[in-house]
Amino acid sequence: MSGPVAFCGLELAHPVLNGSGTYDAIAAERAFGPAFLAEFPFAAFVSKTITLAPRQGNPPPRLWEVPAGMINSIGLPNKGLDAYLAEDLPKLARLPVPLIVNVMGFTRDEVGRLVASVGARPEVAAIELNVSCPNVESGLVMGADAGETAALVTHVRPLTAKPLIVKLTPNATDVPAVALAAQEAGADAVSLINTLRGMALHPRSGRPWLGGTTGGVSGPAVRAVALAQVHDVALRVRIPIVGMGGVQTGRDARDLLDAGATLVAVGTESFRDPAAGARIAAELGEIAAATGDARDLGPPRAVAPR
Ligand code: RRO
């Protein structure tokens, strides 16, 4: 097992967590029983995105398989802030790891109300701002523009003392500029990448397959994109980075750490193997034992700019 990591004031047992929206811990506990909590695969748990009001999400179909990955167009279905706090948070608080709650709003004021309410709960260790959802109209706006991101983080920063992680969209012209804007406005960390905007056509009708027309591509297909974006962001910011995108093995996780990430998140791979997080953390430990931990050789930010 790979060793403990400090992240935004949290002490994590290892550097592997889940990507938001890719792991239903409440359903997993129901399915796998108490052993699941004892062998929880992640060092912190990131809950799926919540919004102020309940949402049905996009009409089906919501998934399409692509070579080495998939496209999702889920559209933020969730029970809304009040029901989340009353029903889900007490269950998630039983997990044996720190809880990070992911929130998204359609105006700055909405995000502020989410951050203030969620941040006031003692069960919550940190908050992740989803400025990167490619599936609903407004998601693209805030995270695709450095000025919008700066204004959002400036608005919500005074509303909580808890660590704020800004989850970046890869669907932006200058992702490092957005990351820098988040840092300068007071973000404690950035996470990337969310899914890449994509589309599939119905094989017979030629019309969009997904109920939401377009969706987000994830899985090994996006791994090289994630690596490049983490590398580029690491050259611009000094706050920690949670790297993700197509991680299936300890080697993939090690690459993101070497590119400048402090933590690594597993997403699509957990659908195939619910214990993937624990396996990847163990493989990271094996790589460190076999080759020496690259972090001992100096800061990963020393990767030469191109
Ligand atoms: O719900 C979704 O369709 C969704 C979200 Br909020 C997100 O952040 N990323 C994604 O791929 N899908």
Tokens of 79: 């029970």
Nearest one of 244, 234, 242, 231 to 276, comparing CA atoms: 244
Mutate to test the pocket of ligand 1, among 194, 199, 218 (most ligand atoms within 8 A of CB): 194
Q: Which residues contact 98 (CB under 8 A, 6 or more apart)?
A: 10, 12, 44, 45, 125, 126
Residues facing 263 on adjacent strands: 242
The answer to whether residue 221 scores a pLDDT higher than 80 is yes
| Four-point Cα dihedral 1, 36, 270, 22, nearest 10 | -120
The answer to whether residue 303 scores a pLDDT higher than 60 is no
Helix (H) or strand (E) holding 202: none
Provide mean pLDDT across the span 249-262: 98
Mutate to test the pocket of ligand 1, among 18, 72, 213, 222 (most ligand atoms within 8 A of CB): 72
Banded model confidence at residue 78, pLDDT cuts 50, 70, 90: very high
Least confident range from 130-139, 162-171, 234-243: namely 130-139
Rounded-to-integer distance, Cα 124 and Cα 89, Å: 9
User: Is there an atom of ligand 1 within 6 Å of 49 CB?
Assistant: yes
The answer to whether residue 240 scores a pLDDT higher than 80 is yes
How far is ligand 1, taken at its centre, from the CA of residue 74, in Å? 6
Identify the residue whose C-alpha is closest to ligand 1 atom 9.
Answer: 133
- What's the pLDDT at 132? 72
Mutate to test the pocket of ligand 1, among 22, 49, 106, 142 (most ligand atoms within 8 A of CB): 49
35 burial (CB, 10 Å; 0-12 / 13-18 / 19+) is exposed
Active site residues: 133
- What's the pLDDT at 141? 60
Specify the DSSP class assigned to residue 71: E
- Sheet bearing 196-199, strands edge to edge: 63-66, 69-72, 214-218, 196-199
Rounded-to-integer distance, Cα 78 and Cα 49, Å: 8
The answer to whether residue 138 scores a pLDDT higher than 50 is no
Least confident range from 6-10, 46-50, 52-56, 133-137: namely 133-137
| Four-point Cα dihedral 176, 241, 215, 181, nearest 10 | -40
The answer to whether residue 10 scores a pLDDT higher than 80 is yes
- What's the pLDDT at 1? 66
Nearest one of 129, 140, 94, 78 to 242, comparing CA atoms: 129
Rounded-to-integer distance, Cα 175 and Cα 192, Å: 10
Nearest one of 232, 249, 154, 142 to 193, comparing CA atoms: 232
The answer to whether residue 91 scores a pLDDT higher than 90 is yes
| Stated pTM of the model | 0.94
Instruction: Find where tokens 């019309």 sit.
Output: 207
Instruction: Find where tokens 């940190």 sit.
Output: 126
Least confident range from 41-55, 79-93, 252-266, 287-301: namely 287-301
Tokens of 164: 């704020």
Higher per-residue confidence, 31 vs 303: 31
The answer to whether residue 135 scores a pLDDT higher than 70 is no
Helix (H) or strand (E) holding 92: helix 89-92
Q: Tell me the pLDDT of the chain averaged across its residues.
A: 92
User: Is there an atom of ligand 1 within 6 Å of 75 CB?
Assistant: yes
How far is ligand 1, taken at its centre, from the CA of residue 22, in Å? 9
Tokens of 102: 């992911």
User: Is there an atom of ligand 1 within 6 Å of 198 CB?
Assistant: no
Rounded-to-integer distance, Cα 52 and Cα 113, Å: 8
- What's the pLDDT at 295? 52
Instruction: Find where tokens 């790891």 sit.
Output: 97
Looking at 120-268, list the stretches that DSSP marks H as alpha helix, in order from N- to C-terminal side.
Answer: 137-143, 146-156, 175-184, 223-234, 250-258
Q: Which residues contact 291 (CB under 8 A, 6 or more apart)?
A: none
